[in-house]
Amino acid sequence: MKLLFVDDMRDTRDFFRFAFELEKVEVHLASNGAEAVELAKTESFDAIVMDVEMPVMNGWDAVRAIRATALGSTTPILMYTAYGDSETRDRATAVGADSVLFKPLLPRDILSRIHKLRG
């Protein structure tokens, strides 16, 4: 599986990259939504995991922009955030995310959700 993981916190990116690589997942990293959009324009991913609150471009805007690209139009996108409410779920759906996860979360939780989305 080829995964794009997007988070502005370096420690978080490093932790999840390490954990995913232990599961034999090819991980690409981005530190903000703008970087994620650029990667999604040129590379195909089996799934994208996107933080919501980031500088430069937040996750909401990034998901919307990725959905507008040819390669990102059908890629499963999972958003994650500390805001666990129905408004967040509704907004994630509205911008084009397939799923929303709430912090704290474990790498295996993300992988499990990706496998469910991919069938």
Q: Supply the pLDDT for residue 72.
A: 82
> Which whole number is the average pLDDT over 92-106?
93
Please, which pLDDT band fits residue 15 given cuts at 50, 70 and 90?
Answer: very high
- Please answer whether residues 80 and 102 qualify as being in contact, where contact means their C-beta atoms are separated by less than 8 angstroms: yes
Q: What percent of the chain has pLDDT over 70?
A: 100
What is the pLDDT at residue 26?
A: 98
Place 75 in a pLDDT band, splitting at 50, 70 and 90.
very high
Indicate whether 47 pLDDT > 90: yes
Domains of the chain: 2-118 (3.40.50.2300)
* 96 Rama class: left (phi>0) / alpha (psi -120 to 50) / beta: left
